[in-house]
Amino acid sequence: MAVCQYRTGETLGRGTYSVVKLAVHMQTRQSYALKVINKKLIHGKENMVKNEIAVLKRTAGGHPSIMGLHDYFETKNDIYLCFDLCTGGTLADPIRNKTHYYESDVISIIRTILAGVKYLHAMGIVHRDLKPDNVLFASRGDDSKIIIGDFGLSRLLESSKLSLLTHCGTLAYMAPEIFRNIGYGAAVDVWAIGVFAFFLICGHSPFDIDSQQLCVEAILTGDYTFEPPEVWNRVSDAAKDFIGECLVIDPINRPTASVALRHEWLKEAPVGVVPKSSPKLPDLYPYVAKAFGKSLKQEPPLFSIGIMDLHATSPLALLRGDPGASANELLEKFKRYIDESEKGSPADTVLVDDMSIDGAIEQADHVIQVKRLGTVNESQDDRDD
């Protein structure tokens, strides 16, 4: 395909190094969203675009809730990606425009997104930046399909032996293991789903803290509360249980997307659309309208390369199943892996402050140790009694 086969129209959006335009295919008259990426602006970061294309090619036509890439091509100056056209806006818009908002609405949204994430994981893909800004509605109707988009930070995990090591995503949605440089995988998306569900219910994330270090510290220790009470007292225990299971600190004990889909809270929800209001529980909108209006603003993703100390960290964190590899061999494989799949950072990202992360990890480890000692002491007191 070539750019001459499309007639471009209005600008739908802009990024730091790209512009998205309405485009109509000259032969089929089908409308698309055409992302035009300036090669000069992404010089040195071309692998980020190649990775996004590879991810979208793998998922093409495979799931109704995954953004479709219909075409891609390049000219001397630009790279063109031709996507499904979603006219319903991001997740923020329909929610903000509602007059009523029920827990059943949240259930349907989460179940649909989780079904899409289950498909991604089955295809060996980790999204790494699930948040309201990256979920779109295909149309403006009440029965619009929900679409997961923006795969710029997504990665293919070709082998179960490889773990990702990059600090990236949107801070309030990032899982604790991302910060510890021990390797992470698909479980980070399930954590993000838990944050997502919390956010959709009350209008803010469980880790909505201005200080980057304090936010990371809260994530590392799983320190959150179901507040404000005027909202959460109207929410089912099943919803809180679902969120709690997704926000388990240890990724090994976190449910997979497939298991999470079978949770009691999601059993009755239809998949694929937001239903017309069918309230089973009190209307949440009067309590969250202001919060949604304030907090549903676009946040840039964070990005930095977490270089792990191979002498201080188990090699299994990088290459599970290859305990015979030397530190130097692991280091070379790690460097190649970074070069191939994580080269450069997206131009519209904000770097994570590594000093903040280090300070947060140190404080979080202290808090965790104190909690463990408290648990041990309580057990000892019980035995003494």
* Residue 94 token pair: 């329909």
What is the gyration radius of the CA atoms in the chain, in angstroms? 22
Residue 362 has phi, psi (to 5 degrees) of -60, -45
**How many Cβ atoms from other residues are within 10 Å of residue 86's Cβ?**
20
| Catalytic annotation present for 385 | no
The label of the residue with tokens 């600190």 reads: 249
Largest CA distance in the chain: 82
In residues, how long is the chain? Answer: 385
Give residues with Cβ within 8 angstroms of 167, minimum separation 6: 174, 178, 179, 302, 303, 304, 305, 306, 352, 357
CB 7 within 8 A of CB 26: yes
Residue 281 has phi, psi (to 5 degrees) of -135, 170
35 annotated as a binding-site residue: yes
Name the nearest CA neighbour of 171 among 331, 351, 377, 358: 351
Distance from C-alpha of 286 to C-alpha of 107, rounded to nearest angstrom: 18
List 105, 129, 133, 150, catalytic entry: 129
Distance from C-alpha of 105 to C-alpha of 90, rounded to nearest angstrom: 15
The label of the residue with tokens 């799931």 reads: 63
CB 138 within 8 A of CB 90: no
* Residue 282 token pair: 């009190």
Per the DSSP assignment, residues forming a β-bridge with 293 are none
E strands, 207-331, are 302-305
Residue 136 has phi, psi (to 5 degrees) of -120, 160
Name the nearest CA neighbour of 21 among 77, 71, 82: 82
CB 32 within 8 A of CB 26: no
Distance from C-alpha of 172 to C-alpha of 30, rounded to nearest angstrom: 37
* Residue 85 token pair: 């056209």
Q: Which residues are catalytic?
A: 129
Annotated binding site for ATP: 35
Residues making up the annotated binding site are 35
